[in-house]
Amino acid sequence: MLVPSIDLQDGRVVQLVQGERLALASDDLDGWIERFRRFPIVQVIDLDAAMGRGSNDALVRRVCGELPCQVGGGVRSVERAQTLLASGARRVIVGSAFYTADGVNLAAVQAFAGAVGRHRVIAAVDARGGHVTIHGWTTTLPVTAADAAAALSPHAGGFLYTHVDTEGTMAGLNLDAALAVRRATARRVIAAGGIRSLAEVEQLDALGIDAVVGMAIYTGEIDLDAAAGPPS
């Protein structure tokens, strides 16, 4: 399944390369909402909240009011997760809060699952250079994404694996890395990081992995009508 991504920064829809360099920016949030209506789930990431430099709460609420969304970026407390869910998010994506300097924080994921329900918690296992990276991809930990997924699996409803090394590059996802996470858990895995074609999305789908796509959609490399299928 293809999951379109809406990344928000400074009040705009953006696409970054490896979370750092701005490649695309759009003020047409309503236009993108309309284009994504035929998809069963849309991913919304508040990059400002992830970086700890403000938020785009009003825009997040607008998208969640129009589309079925999983929302991430700066979800560091149970209260924040509850606020997003109350704003209309179907699921919340949690990254940094689930880790310590040494690895996985099991008490944190248990607290989130207990407060909002395991099925509404997506654990982020983003990796750079093979190891989990947090705090807006600025801090790398000594644990691999697969090991983190295995440890968090009893308490998370699913996993978002982002291969930061190729994120935003349209160079193709590192399939071996995504499969390592897939094999580590029985939960649903969603993968992101350089996905560039519908053939790649279909290959991931056959392996039981959903595909988050951003840059390839915004540049027109992937045709949304073909990706969404015929109107219902």
**pLDDT per residue over 94-112, tens digit each?**
999 999 998 999 999 999 9
18 band by pLDDT with thresholds 50, 70 and 90: confident
CATH class as words, domain 2-227: alpha beta
> Are the CB atoms for 42 and 16 separated by under 8 Å?
no
Considering the candidates 46, 48, 126, 210, report the single residue annotated as catalytic.
Answer: 126
Q: How close are the terminal C-alpha atoms of the chain, in Å?
A: 16
| Residue-wise pLDDT tens digits, 153-204 | 999 999 999 999 999 999 999 999 999 999 999 999 999 999 999 999 999 9
Tell me the average pLDDT across 116-123. Answer: 98
Decide: 190 and 41 in contact? Cβ < 8 Å: no
- Catalytic residue flag (residue 57): no
Active site residue 126: yes
Q: What is the pLDDT of residue 136?
A: 85
Q: How far is CA 63 from CA 41, 55, 82, 89, 131, in A?
A: 11, 14, 17, 9, 32
Judge whether residue 70 has pLDDT over 60: yes
Residue 232 has what pLDDT?
54
In tens, the pLDDT along 48-66 reads 999 889 999 999 999 999 9
pLDDT on residue 14? 96
Distance (Å, rounded) from C-alpha 14 to C-alpha 29? 10
Predicted TM-score (pTM) of the model is 0.94
The overall average pLDDT reported for the chain is 95
List the catalytic residue out of 7, 46, 48, 210: 7
